Amino acid sequence: METKKSESRPMTPERRKRINRLKKIIAGTVLFMILFPILGCVVLGVMLYRTNSSAERMSEQITFMEKALQESADEKERIQELLRIDGEIRQEAQAGIEYEELPGMEDVPEVDAETEDGIRRVYLTFDDGPSIYTEELLDILAQYDVKATFFVTAKGKEDYGDIYRRIVEEGHTLGMHSYSHEYSNIYASLENFQEDIEKLRNFLYRETGTVSRFYRFPGGSSNTVSATDIHEFIRYLNAMDIDYFDWNVSSGDASSVRLGSDEIVDRVVREIPSRRVAVVLMHDAADKHSTVEALPRLIEEIQGMEDGTEILPITEETMLIQHVSGE
């Protein structure tokens, strides 16, 4: 009887509202149950994509570090072998047997060593780039079919990726000249020096796919700015299989007095004949257009030397020119 009463109960406005509200709740619940798994899948997909991207970057870093560690291990073995050989030679010398000093064990001689084939080798090097003039320098070098060495920096130069790649692709040597070129930070401690080099080396590897193994100290290895013993930095470079190069011919383009292109050429050409291996210091910077202007005539003057002179990029075979010798 109660059931019949409820069935015959008239549909009042209040009852209709309750029924409509109940329908909305049921519909909302069903919709939520449908959308929640979809949203969950979308979120998981985004997280998976980010995880994969992060994993790929980590994989690249791990590959790079594994290579660096292997090179470091090889270098340490080489240094240990050199030290062992040097110890044996010194023992023989103490016994009255004459010996020739191993290169790099004592101070670097002021006079350049003679090359066996009698060819003078000239290495044109450019510090501080890339700059607004790097492409112009590269165009001139390409015109004369000459290869050079660029000791580059990177801070604030993230937009120069095409230039870093062009240096490598056109056969020039890509060297390191610190990431920031901030003396007070780089030379404050060995930790700062290591961090700066690793940051630059990783940056250049990402941009060019090349692991640079040549370095030039800002201010040279004989700089008087460093708050840390330069030999600590040298030992680190040796352990990382990184060769550092100073220079024995200066163009003078970094002096406080701005030189004209003719003065730059005359300074370099005057110094080269006294060297069998000449590493020429020049700069690639926004205030150094006189260097760009000097480059064509400088190349022509060097190529015109009659005693077998070659212009080459720095390689692993290049004789080290260092103001402060390694240990």
Euclidean distance between CA atoms 67 and 240, whole angstroms? 10
Euclidean distance between CA atoms 198 and 211, whole angstroms? 11
Catalytic one of 127, 128, 196, 253: 127
Euclidean distance between CA atoms 294 and 146, whole angstroms? 15
Euclidean distance between CA atoms 204 and 212, whole angstroms? 8
Output the six-digit token pair for 11: 């549909």
Euclidean distance between CA atoms 306 and 99, whole angstroms? 36
> Is 283 an active-site residue?
yes
> Is 74 an active-site residue?
no
Catalytic one of 112, 196, 283, 284: 283
Burial class (CB in 10 A: 0-12, 13-18, 19+), 86: middle
Say if CB 149 and CB 214 are below 8 A apart.
yes
Just list the catalytic residues.
127, 283
